[in-house]
Amino acid sequence: MPDATLVEAINFALARAMQDDQRVLILGEDVGKDGGVFRATDGLLARFGPARVLDTPLAEVAIAGVCVGLAAQGFRPVAEIQFMGFAYATIDQLLNHAARLRSRTRGRLTCPMVLRTPCGAGIHAPEHHSESGEACFTNIPGLRVVIPSSPQRGYGLLLAAIRDPDPVVFLEPTRLYRATREPIMDDGTALPLDRCFTLREGNDVTLVGWGGVTREMLSAAERLAAEGTEAEVIDVATLVPLDAETILASVAKTGRCVICHEAPLTGGFGAEIAAQLAGPGLLSMLAPVERVTGYDTIVPLSRLERHYLPSADRILAAVRRTLSHG
Is 190 inside any structural domain? no
For the cut 80, the answer to whether the pLDDT of residue 302 exceeds it is no
Query: What does DSSP assign to residue 89?
Result: G
Binning pLDDT at 50, 70 and 90, where does residue 301 land?
Answer: confident
> Would you call 129 a catalytic residue per the annotation?
yes
| CATH of residue 236 | 3.40.50.920
Residue 14 sits in the same domain as residue 127: yes
Q: Provide the pLDDT for residue 306.
A: 87
Domain that holds residue 138: 3-183
Enter the DSSP assignment of 288.
Answer: -
Question: Tens digits of per-residue pLDDT, 3-36?
Answer: 999 999 999 999 999 999 999 999 999 999 999 9
Q: Are residues 160 and 210 in the same domain?
A: no
Are residue 113 and residue 28 in the same domain, yes or no?
yes
Q: Please, which residues have CB within 8 angstroms of residue 84's CB and are 6 or more apart in sequence?
A: 117, 118, 119, 120, 128, 129, 130, 131, 132, 133, 171
Residues 134, 204, 323: CA angle, nearest 5 degrees = 85
Phi, psi of 170, deg, nearest 5: -115, 105
Judge whether 131 lies within some domain: yes
Instruction: Answer yes or no: is 132 within a domain.
Output: yes
- The answer on pLDDT for 128 being more than 90 is no
pLDDT higher than threshold 80 for residue 326? no
* pTM score: 0.97
Angle between helices 151-163 and 6-20 (to 10 degrees): 30
- What integer pLDDT is reported at residue 305 of this predicted model? 87
The pLDDT tens digits of the residues spanning 242-296 come to 999 999 999 999 999 999 999 999 999 999 999 999 999 999 999 999 999 999 9
Q: How many domains does the chain have?
A: 2
In a domain, residue 79? The reply is yes
Residue at 192 is within a domain: no
Q: What is the mean pLDDT of residues 93-120?
A: 96
Give dist(CA 208, CA 187) in Å, integer: 30
114 and 83 co-located in one domain: yes
Examine the fold and report which residue of 139, 161, 183 is the final residue of a domain before the chain moves on.
183
Share of the chain above pLDDT 70, in %: 100
Distance (Å, rounded) from C-alpha 291 to C-alpha 271? 8
pLDDT of residue 238: 98
Q: Are 23 and 75 in contact (CB under 8 A)?
A: yes
At residue 186, the pLDDT reads: 96
Question: Does the residue 189 lie in any domain?
Answer: no
User: Which residues, including other chains, have CB under 8 Å from residue 206's CB and lie 6 or more apart?
Assistant: 231, 232, 234, 247, 250, 251, 253, 254, 256, 257, 258
Kindly state the average pLDDT of the residues 51-68.
97
What value does the mean pLDDT take over residues 184-194?
Answer: 97
Q: Is the pLDDT of residue 300 over 90?
A: no
Could you tell me the CATH number of the domain that includes residue 58?
Answer: 3.40.50.970
Q: Are residues 246 and 104 in the same domain?
A: no
179 and 207 both lie in a single domain: no
In this prediction, residue 139 has a pLDDT band, given cuts at 50, 70 and 90, of very high
- Count how many residues are written for the chain: 326
Q: Do 12 and 145 fall into the same domain?
A: yes
Residue 191 lies in a domain: no
Within this chain, do residues 127 and 269 fall inside the same structural domain, yes or no? no
Choice among 97, 124, 128, 129 that is catalytic: 129
Per-residue pLDDT for 126 more than 90? no
Confidence of residue 304 (pLDDT cuts 50, 70, 90): confident
Residue at a domain's end among 183, 216, 240: 183
Same domain, 223 and 160: no
Domain boundary among 114, 148, 183: 183
User: Do 30 and 91 fall into the same domain?
Assistant: yes
pLDDT at residue number 287: 97
| Beta-carbon count within 10 A of 80 CB | 26
- For residue 188, is it within any domain? no
Looking at the fold, whether 111 and 171 belong to one and the same domain comes out as yes
Does the structure show a pLDDT above 80 at 1?
Answer: no
Measured CA distances, 22 to 13, 26, 135, 224, 318 (Å): 14, 11, 33, 49, 49
pLDDT at 122: 87
Q: Compute the average pLDDT of residues 169-197.
A: 97
User: pLDDT: is 125 or 161 the higher one?
Assistant: 161
Residues 260, 217 share a domain: yes
